[in-house]
Structure 1
């Protein structure tokens, strides 16, 4: 699963990273977010999605399907790749409302200790879905089974997209997106850095760079 993540790349640097990833100009009509070090479900996170142009926009982390009547129930912040194309909560968004979610890293707990997972200095791009249920832009992160050499940390893994996969995820038909519902490559995972960090991550009110120490 992915229940906390970090995004400290901001401003023009974030837009440049997005444009490099999607291979198109990206605009941020509402601006870019400030640095965050402990993003949690139901908070606002940035997503990049196709519209008349490529947009970087703020979205609630926890999908509101178009048929949702209220905000009751647990937040749908992860969508299992094994069922995302068929599950009622996600299937409509999967057909044509796919996005990517930028991260500088994410947290995972192992034996009650938080660990920070990153790709060095590179922004990582997680496969996501978006919706506008309850008249609010919202999003969820697609996950898959974990693979070696990171499987010891958790049995689930965000479906991170390599740059040559982003086009297919964002713009391909649903059948093409279904072909991507498998873990990211072992070669990509082998580049990840994993280290134990401050237990203060456990409190969502803590949101500062010292959490990475």
Structure 2
């Protein structure tokens, strides 16, 4: 699963990364880019990438609540739907509508996972991570959730049995623009799991009020 993440790539660097994704010709960020964040938690605002235009060639970067708000919800009470299990995402009432028609991406530099009360920072060998996401506009708010799958590989299964569905650059167009059946073909343990590494970090990351660069330093 993923319940905390980090995004310190921002500004023009973030827009350039998104603009280089396959099929993207234009990037829109009407509210600008987010500031660097080192401890993003559920129910907070996060950057969400949606693909719009006749051919999905425009990547729109918007701020969304991390915790899906389906159209049938009457308020934002209850546990936030910040992760969606890939195994049931196409059938579960909370997610099936968004899975059919509202698939996007969450972007991150890395995320935190805990093992025996010790937090670890998980990061790719290079570049950004693009996590498969769903979005909704229930309660007149843009909201999102991150899709997860079983973990894979000795390193990641040791740390946790669940892993965000990270997409390769070549997978992204199929996820956001394909049919439900084509998108479902990608819902399997992330093929980039082998490129992930982790390091132990300070336990202060457990407090959501802490948000500074030193949280990702190795201890």
| TM-score of the superposed pair, with normalisation by structure 1 | 0.97
Residues 1:94 and 2:99 are matched in the alignment: yes
CA distance in 2, matches of 1:207, 1:157: 23
Q: State the SS of the aligned residue for 1:190.
A: helix
Distance 2:51 2:174 in 1: 12
Structure 1 outlier segments of 4+, above 3 Å: none
Give the corresponding residue for 1:208: 212
1:169 to 170, 175, 200: 175
Aligned residues: 211
Pairwise CA distance, 1:124: 0.4
- Corresponding residue number in structure 1 for 2:47: 46
CA distance, structure 2, for counterparts of residue 47 and residue 160 of structure 1: 14
Q: Identify unmatched segments of 5+ residues in structure 2.
A: none
Cα RMSD for the two superposed structures: 0.9
Listed as ranges, the matches of 1:66-77 within 5 Å are 66-77=71-82
- 1:1-213 aligned at under 5 Å gives the runs 1-24=1-24, 25-52=26-53, 53-149=58-154, 150-185=156-191, 188-213=192-217
> Deviation digits for residues 175-210 of structure 1, max 9, x if unmatched?
11111111111xx22221210001000000000001
Q: Which 5+ residue runs of structure 1 have no aligned equivalent? A: none
In structure 2, what is the Cα distance between the partners aligned to 1:51 and 1:64?
A: 21
CA–CA separation in structure 1 for the residues paired with 2:64 and 2:22: 19
Instruction: Find the aligned partners of 2:213 and 2:27 in 1 and give their Cα distance.
Output: 27
Pairwise CA distance, 1:50: 1.5
Any idea what SS the aligned residue of 2:73 has? coil
Distance 2:195 2:149 in 1: 18
CA contact 2:3–2:82 (8 Å) conserved in 1: yes
